[in-house]
Amino acid sequence: MTQIKNDLFIKACKREPIERTPIWVMRQAGRYLPEYRAVRDKYDFITMCKTPELAAEVTIQPIDLIGVDAAIIFSDILVIPEAMGMKLEMIESKGPKLYNPIRNVDHVNSLKSVDPYRELKYVLDAVSLTKKQLNGRVPLIGFAGAPWTLMTYMVEGSGSKNFSEIKKFIYNQPDAAHKLLDLLADIVANYLSAKIESGANAVQIFDTWGGILSPDDFAQFSLQYITKVISKIKRSSEPVIVFAKGVHYKLDDLASCGADVIGLDWTMNLKNVRNMIGSNVALQGNLDPTILYSPKEKILNEALKVLESFGKGNGHIFNLGHGILPDVNPDHLKYLVEVVKKESVRFH
């Protein structure tokens, strides 16, 4: 096993003492980087996901170019619905589309079972290859969508404004919904276990649509399945991060789901959350991604606010509160990374 040279990210996940706060950013292997766009111009998004050499290349770009403290494998959460038999398309500037969305229990029953070593072998190959090419410089993060978020896409067929279809589904066909969520929880757990087996040093579960639910519905339709996923992941000491966007309620319950780290969006106050739950878990976040549109002086001030909000101590991984936007100037992200590396020393 390769020793990781910069293991600040892993240590922060475990709330171990370190000399500064590590930083990575969601969607760091993405369109804001000209070097990523150069690859993307030649291949479509899904081909990039399915070609380990290309996935490894863009995964490593922000390590070299931006200087982040962790790599996250280039992929998409919707590879799971695709592996279950749904046709997936990525429509430029509009987002993903899953054809023939799920609307009843028969459709749920017709979905294929997924063995990650078979249907998703290309992701595992990308993880192994990236791990090899990283050569221990920084840790590698694997990820998956939370069952709730995957089901939302599978029922809506795409992103949504009002989420009418998924809400009709869970309120009128709760048995079918729970059946699908349970199936997804098993698949996600196996998939994340396989990523760890293939070399991922940590895994993140994205619950992008957790925040559209009321607190009771979140507990029933999302949190219990995240908890199930985490309990079933085969791992030695690889940390698990849960990022549930917009879930500002029941944070104490969320902190008890078995995750080592809770990711927070930019509407949360790190200090309050740390006071509430920070002794049990590490926190990741939470700069508003649009701050990167600002002049550098404001980026500095806002980064300091995030560091000060968490305060002195261990267990903080700096990140954006959501994915970096495609039209951000990469120099601004590079500046943020420098600022966090330099200024966070005095918080440790």
- Among 149, 210, 215, 158, smallest CA distance to 185 is for 149
Decide: is 171 part of the binding site for a second copy (CB under 8 A).
Answer: yes
Of 11 and 332, the one with the shorter C-beta distance to a second copy is 332
Beta bridge partners of 318: 23, 285
Note if 20 is an active site residue.
no
Whose tokens are 């739950």? That residue is 277
How many residues bind a second copy, per CB under 8 A? Answer: 32
Residue of 34, 215, 311, 313 that binds a second copy (CB under 8 A): 215
Any idea what the Cα angle at residue 145 is, between residues 142 and 149, rounded to 5°?
170
Q: Are 343 and 23 in contact (CB under 8 A)?
A: no
Produce one character per residue of 26-53: b if its CB has 16 or more CB atoms within 10 Å, e if not: bbbbbbbbeebeebbeeeebbebbbbbe
**Rounded-to-5 percentages of helix, strand, coil across the chain:** 50, 10, 40
Which one of 76, 115, 217, 253 is the catalytic residue?
Answer: 76
Note if 118 is an active site residue.
no
Decide: is 269 part of the binding site for a second copy (CB under 8 A).
Answer: yes
Residue of 224, 256, 280, 294 that binds a second copy (CB under 8 A): 294
Instruction: Give dist(CA 213, CA 215) in Å, integer.
Output: 6
Whose tokens are 């398309």? That residue is 89
Q: Are 302 and 291 in contact (CB under 8 A)?
A: yes
Residue of 122, 325, 334, 338 that binds a second copy (CB under 8 A): 325
Fill in the per-residue mask, 144 to 163: x = in contact with a second copy (CB under 8 A), - = not in contact: ---------------x-xxx
Decide: is 290 part of the binding site for a second copy (CB under 8 A).
Answer: yes
Note if 76 is an active site residue.
yes
Which one of 20, 32, 69, 153 is the catalytic residue?
Answer: 153
CB of 162 to a second copy, least distance (A): 6
Instruction: Give dist(CA 225, CA 119) in Å, integer.
Output: 22
Of 256 and 314, the one with the shorter C-beta distance to a second copy is 256
Q: Which residues bind a second copy (CB under 8 A)?
A: 159, 161-164, 167-168, 171-172, 211, 213-217, 246, 248-249, 266-269, 288, 290-291, 293-295, 298, 305, 325, 327
